[in-house]
Amino acid sequence: MSAPNTALVAISAALFGALAMFMLNPSPSNNSEINSDEAIRTMVGTMLDERDAENAASSEQILVAQATEISSQDINPETLYPMIENFLMDDPKILQRVSVALQEQLRLDEVSEAKIALVSFESEIYDDPDHVVLGNPDGDVTLVEFFDYNCVFCRAAMPDVARLLAEDPNLRVIFKEYPILSEDSVNAARVAIAVSKTPGADYWAFHELLYTARGQISGETALATAQSMGMNRVELELAARAADVTNIIQKSYILADGLKISGTPAFIIGDEIIPGAVGYERLRDSIANVRKCGSTVCNT
């Protein structure tokens, strides 16, 4: 069962179980309709409260087991499912709680899947000889960034990465070209890779200058920037067209797909993939936690 389906079963099981159990054990009261609604609300609320208090993984197993046990009894889904839908629509508070719980479970599933993927692709992430490494090559923590030169959020995050490089002498930073926004982005990435392979070239200075350029960043923008730094434009242009440059970009696409990264910037720190321009403090604190406990989130 896929992660989203598992999460949906886990959250729906609370409501499914409450309704099914009540159908199997109806109230003997004369006021059965009113008591049914109140009893079901109480049961669902209790199940959601218990779920909130439980560990997410064990709670999911409990709820799925409840749903499996109940569904094995003589319950007609054609009768039960409309009741679930009507119940949720008639009680917005319960619907909101179920929705919040579902979103949280989906988030936890995504985090779990990301951790597995990071282990599976560890070599591609950290050991690729073609990626750009700045900072301390022997640093105790590595920050990886997937970026696109035409990404406004990457531009916003660049000063945060610059500050981390300046302030943290034990940080290694890996840059992975991930041009996904336009053909101009691809052409700029080609030139940037060629710059990174040019002996004596200051890649970081080039990187910063390119992000401060106005307008759409293209291959021409990148070549002009490199030329302004004293690099040979013709040689760079030829190098940017090489097959190995194409291969480097393709490797980034394949890796991003395996990690389910679909936007930029995307950062990898320790056991977490962090999407978006989250700010200096978030990156700094995640790095500090990896040093402290081996994870971006420490329990103590």
In the chain, where the domains are located: 3-111, 123-293
At residue 3, the pLDDT reads 45
At residue 100, the pLDDT reads 75
3-state secondary structure of 142: strand
Strands 171-177 and 141-147: parallel
The two three-digit tokens of residue 192, written as one number? 């940037």
At residue 114, the pLDDT reads 76
At residue 81, the pLDDT reads 65
At residue 45, the pLDDT reads 64
Residue 267: partners with Cβ closer than 8 Å, 6 or more residues away: 143, 144, 145, 146, 273, 274, 275, 278, 283
At residue 7, the pLDDT reads 45
123-293 has which fold? Glutaredoxin (3.40.30)
At residue 48, the pLDDT reads 62
Q: Residue written as tokens 């109230």?
A: 27
At residue 115, the pLDDT reads 84
Helix (H) or strand (E) holding 296: none
pLDDT < 70 stretches in the chain: 1-81, 83-89, 91, 94-95, 98, 107-109, 300
Residue 178: partners with Cβ closer than 8 Å, 6 or more residues away: 146, 147, 148, 252, 253, 256, 261, 264, 266
Residue 149: partners with Cβ closer than 8 Å, 6 or more residues away: 179, 185, 188, 189, 192, 210, 211, 217, 222
At residue 121, the pLDDT reads 96
How far apart CA 217 and CA 293 sit, in angstroms, is 40
Residue 252: what residue type? S
CB 154 within 8 Å of CB 283? no
